[in-house]
Homo-oligomer: A and B are copies of this chain.
Amino acid sequence: MSAVDLPADSPYGLQHLPYGVFSTSGEAPRVGVRVGDAVLDLAPVAAADGLPVSGALAQPTLNAFLASGREQWSDVRDWLVDLLAQDASAELVGAHLLPLADVTLHLPFEVADYVDFYASEHHATNVGRIFRPDGNALTPNWKHLPIGYHGRAGTVVVSGTDVVRPTGQRKTPAEATPTFGPSIRLDIEAEVGFVVGTPTALGERVGVDAFDEHVFGVVLLNDWSARDIQAWEYVPLGPFLGKSFATSVSAWVTPVAALAAARSPLAPQDPQPLEYLRGSGSDSLFGLELAIEVELNGQVVSRPPYRTMYWSPAQMLAHLTVNGASLRTGDLFASGTVSGTERDERGSFLELTWNGAEPVELADCSTRGFLEDGDTVVLRATAPAVGGGRLALGEVRGTIRPAR
């Protein structure tokens, strides 16, 4: 007996319990937890049980809860599992459980700084071959450090937000001068994002062993990319307008604690990285057994396997802070495009279609090099759950609207 009635194989069962922010008609956004196909309105339930954290859960973003720290995250998770597992809680829980279909989901946290890494060797190699066919696919620094750069935090949007095709400058090598107009090489990047809860002071480093102290959870992330704008602008200071028009994240943040069974060994790194990227034991450098799906207009076109990533999320965090850069609650760092070894494991259309030269064929007999107006892309991912079965990260959905 338990307070909620869920199928045993639900990807949103008691082993998962991801957090989001929702609202109902006429009421303010507040923190909810997904249970099956429903949202538990957390603040009133926590208040009824006398939890001091109920104030943080009544906020319109997760940030106050994120800032409360690992012990609090753990305590609330334990309390929730107990609550939902007990028949005695059925009345309280039932009074605050809302069907997903009746709520609006919002961006779950206020993004402080957004950093995007480039941690897949297969992706970086593919991009290097496409853009620099005459040189080495990987730059000399690639295996020594997880390359990253800052993106635009203010244009991180929640799953379901339409993406307006961006306009800008582009120039092909064959053209003498740039032209202006809507991007004609609009692309996705299937990524995983990591959400920072516990901040640090300026000058403090976060070692690879301290990942769990600082990172609260994981989101799926689509780093929409206008390849034509990006190719013209990015030398020498990196991507800017080719990325800054929109980055979509899932509405649900899966706690790191729910992914304990998804940690997988990291493939050996050669050359061995510098000491600050090594960690003290075999557990500190981990991959994640996340099976990602890229769906275009209802058809799965790729299945990027996250376990093939070269750099561990713990190494990304250690690198990000090794110069003393401080963390803030709400910082988001993403993995970069996840691509496996096979063609149907690539996490961008740039790679899937080899820069448009080998279009993807769809079930309706149309083909795609890059995205067309009206196209809908959905990213999904599942992972092994603690105790068996699989959980599903929140999906990331976006539809392309014509340029204004």
Which residues of A come within 8 Å of B, CB atoms? Answer: 112-113, 115, 118, 139-141, 144-145, 147-155, 157, 164, 166-169, 171, 177-178, 180, 202-203, 226, 229, 232-242, 244-246, 271, 274-276, 319-320, 322-328, 331, 404
Contact = CB atoms under 8 A, between A and B. Distances in A.
A112 B154 CA distance: 7
B237 A323 contact: no
Given A237-B147, A239-B237, A244-B323, A141 B232 contact: yes
A237 B141 CA distance: 11
A121 to B, nearest CB: 15
10 contacts: A118-B237, A141-B178, A141-B233, A144-B169, A147-B240, A152-B325, A154-B326, A154-B328, A167-B323, A229-B323
Contact of A168 (B151, B166, B323): B323
- The prevalent SS among residues of A at the interface is loop
B169 A274 contact: yes
A144 B178 contact: yes
A245 to B, nearest CB: 4
**Copies, count:** 2
Contacts of A229: 323
B149 A240 contact: yes
Contact of A152 (B113, B234, B237, B242): B113
Nearest to A202: B155
A241 B325 contact: yes
B326 A167 contact: no
Given A169-B274, A178-B144, A237-B239, A150 B244 contact: yes
A247 to B, nearest CB: 11
